[in-house]
Structure 1
Amino acid sequence: MDDTGINRRGFATAGLATGFALAVLPVSAQTIITDADDLDAGMVQVPVAGGATMAAYRAVPKRTGKGGHHPVVLVVQEIFGLHEHIRDLCRRLAKSGYYAIAPDLYFRQGDATKVPDIPTLIRDIVSKVSDAQVMADLDATVAHLKTDNRADTQRMAITGFCWGGRIVWLYSAHNPDLKAGAAWYGRLVGNTDADHPKNPIDLVDQLNAPVLGLYGAKDEGIPVASVEQMRTALAKGNKAADTSELRVFPESGHGFNADYRPSYNPVDAKIAWKQMLEWFNKHGVPYVPHA
């Protein structure tokens, strides 16, 4: 076990091919598998608007936190939905003392994990998920957490990856109760439409919490030029924007934390994960360092 509390084993040895999205198969032998020892981990149902319920994966330490509560981290899925990698990230966060929860933000449109290719996934599911729907469902997740006395929503952060990285910026401008955000390679600029009316760069005057942006210099979908454009905008934004930071990893591309894919850069992923934890700690959402 390394200093993040993560066990690394060969994927073939672990024998866990299930749980990953079809569009990401085959899965790399470098895949990280984090156990659920000392955690309360599993699926829960979150009430949402219209009387429906939304599935979410929750991982929370069994040990008692400060006052019986644990700081909260909302985890926003990649484009591939709520599959095993996202659940594993929740367990990693729980190992650091957080109450981590990842809602299935595509649940109204379909099961992204069962779609075999990316073009179909984008056309049939992702493009139909509106920003307003996502904001409301994240609000519902927070409301659900407030019914669990183990969750300290006064100390709450958000992190997200790929598709979820963009959502981190949006939700940081939406929820005034957030303390910090960490956006992993989320789009910053681009085309808009009725369901996706604003980009993160349009919201620099509305951020409620400082965001740490983690990007790869070799990301062909999110060029460094757009990151620098965002950096300039943040410097002219409000206080939360001005205290946000963008960090670019020269040797990494998109998805450098996705250990189940060829894009994984283990060195940069470890550094960035530590930087995220330190960022949360700095902004009032403390973690438990591992020996």
Structure 2
Amino acid sequence: MRDDDNAGLDGLIPSHLSRRGFVMTSLMSGLTLATTRVEAQVIHTDAEGIEAGEVAIPAGDGPMPAYRAVPKGEGPFPVVLVVEEIFGVHEYIKDICRRLAKAGYCAVAPELYARQGDLSKMTDVKQIISEVISKTPDAQWIGDLDATVAWATTAAKGDAGRLAVMGWCRGGRAVWLYDAHRTDLKAAVAWYGPVGGERTAIQPRTAGDVAGEIHAPLLALYGGADTGIPVASVEEARDAAKAAGKSVELVVYPEAPHGFHADYRPSYRKDAAEDGWRRALAFLKAHGV
């Protein structure tokens, strides 16, 4: 982790981060067991023309399971870090990586909760939040994303000069925080990530807290019918960024609930999901990724 990458996150990264062993040593198969889902995924992306599969990323304290999808060919290809929801790197997240690879990207989704619990076996959302999400230090997953960048740009045909991050739900929160951490990001896309929330010793700052400290332009895709994330709170974060001379483009889909891109859940809204995806790809390209 470079010193300049710590800019804007004073108090977030302790000088000595205690690592614990990996509970998950491989990714789950299929979809998460922890949420009601529709009969089948709406979108299934094949691997024709790309290389896709599970990988192990050196993370300092052992190999971290992850999913990588990249176009066939020598590259290098622009890199998109794919940050999961709270449910782990399951088939939906893997499919997103393949969609990005089909669009020309080296897409990598590390299992950021692999030390805290085995998400492949958890069926209770409250258990996931209390035993895994709330106990994962922000400094830990930030370090793991840094390790993912290092691996992708040295061993996976990724271009270090064209780096972006994209995340959903809790991963959307991570996008805001990682944008405030990483000075060499070119673009960031947050899908309905909470901007507020409880502050704790290991998660000391909210996305809203760092809105004025982001480095790369950020596209914020949110649902107007999201009962857990008031649009006003996202507008406040956007305005804080703007006041600090930063760039946040906010798009709100008035009738869309939380999770409107998750095509394996009843929350899926086809029109909003497809429009958001088109905007996300255009945003990456417009900002050099």
| TM-score (structure 2 length as normaliser) | 0.87
Aligned position for 2:63: 53
Contact 2:190-2:219 at 8 Å conserved across structures: yes
Give yes or no for the alignment of 1:263 onto 2:274.
no
Query: How far apart in 2 are the matches of 1:176 and 1:249?
Result: 30
Aligned position for 1:185: 192
Counterpart mapping for 1:5-154 below 5 A:
19-50=30-61, 52-64=62-74, 68-148=75-155, 150-154=157-161
Q: 1:26 to 1:264 in 2, by over 3 A?
A: closer
Aligned position for 1:210: 217
Paired residues in the alignment total: 262
Counterpart mapping for 1:197-276 below 5 A:
197-238=204-245, 241=246, 243-276=247-280
Give the RMSD, CA atoms, in angstroms. Answer: 1.5
Aligned position for 1:279: 283
Query: How far apart in 1 are the matches of 2:117 and 2:256?
Result: 31
Deviation at 1:148, TM superposition (A): 2.2
| Percent of aligned positions that are identical | 51
Deviation at 1:105, TM superposition (A): 0.1
Contact 2:122-2:128 at 8 Å conserved across structures: yes
Query: How far apart in 1 are the matches of 2:156 and 2:211?
Result: 33
Contact 1:28-1:259 at 8 Å conserved across structures: no
Q: Aligned letter for 1:23? A: A
Query: How far apart in 2 are the matches of 1:260 and 1:149?
Result: 29
Consecutive aligned runs of 4 or more in structure 1 exceeding 3 Å deviation: 25-30
Q: Aligned letter for 1:60? A: V
Partner SS, residue 144 of structure 2: helix
Query: How far apart in 1 are the matches of 2:32 and 2:215?
Result: 33
Contact 1:180-1:283 at 8 Å conserved across structures: yes
Partner SS, residue 258 of structure 1: coil
- Please point out which of 168, 172, 191 is paired with 1:165: 172
Query: How far apart in 2 are the matches of 1:38 and 1:146?
Result: 20
Query: How far apart in 1 are the matches of 2:91 and 2:155?
Result: 24
Deviation at 1:231, TM superposition (A): 2.4
Deviation at 1:149, TM superposition (A): 6.0
Deviation at 1:146, TM superposition (A): 2.4
Q: Aligned letter for 1:47? A: P
Contact 2:214-2:241 at 8 Å conserved across structures: no
Contact 1:56-1:103 at 8 Å conserved across structures: yes
Query: How far apart in 1 are the matches of 2:41 and 2:192?
Result: 20
Contact 1:181-1:211 at 8 Å conserved across structures: yes
Deviation at 1:232, TM superposition (A): 2.0
Aligned position for 1:288: none
> Which structure 2 segments of 5+ residues have no match?
1-28
Query: How far apart in 1 are the matches of 2:112 and 2:139?
Result: 11
Partner SS, residue 24 of structure 1: coil
Deviation at 1:25, TM superposition (A): 4.3
Deviation at 1:113, TM superposition (A): 2.6
Q: Aligned letter for 2:215? A: N
Q: Aligned letter for 1:244? A: V
Q: Aligned letter for 1:271? A: D
| TM-score (structure 1 length as normaliser) | 0.87
